[in-house]
Amino acid sequence: MKKTFRPDLSDYEIYVMALVDKLNEDAAFKMSKTDAVKLAIEKAVKNLLPDVEIKPKRKRYVVLGL
């Protein structure tokens, strides 16, 4: 059985909420805190580990007007 990874990000909640608010300004679908954190991790991995292929398991981030 796979163990669930649930980090405590309570100290970072203010930053996560700021990210969610920024993402949701132009988003076609509203992002949750979990989706925003996943998106941030994916961007960090893409920048730091370009050889790693990520298969997102989150809501798709689509900007309105594109």
- Helical packing angle, 33-48 and 13-25, nearest 10°: 90
Residue 55 has pLDDT above 90, yes or no: no
Residue 27 confidence class, pLDDT cut points 50, 70, 90 = confident
How confident is the model at residue 26, as a pLDDT?
87
SS3 (DSSP) at 63? strand
Q: Return the SS3 of 46.
A: helix
pTM of full prediction above 0.85 = no
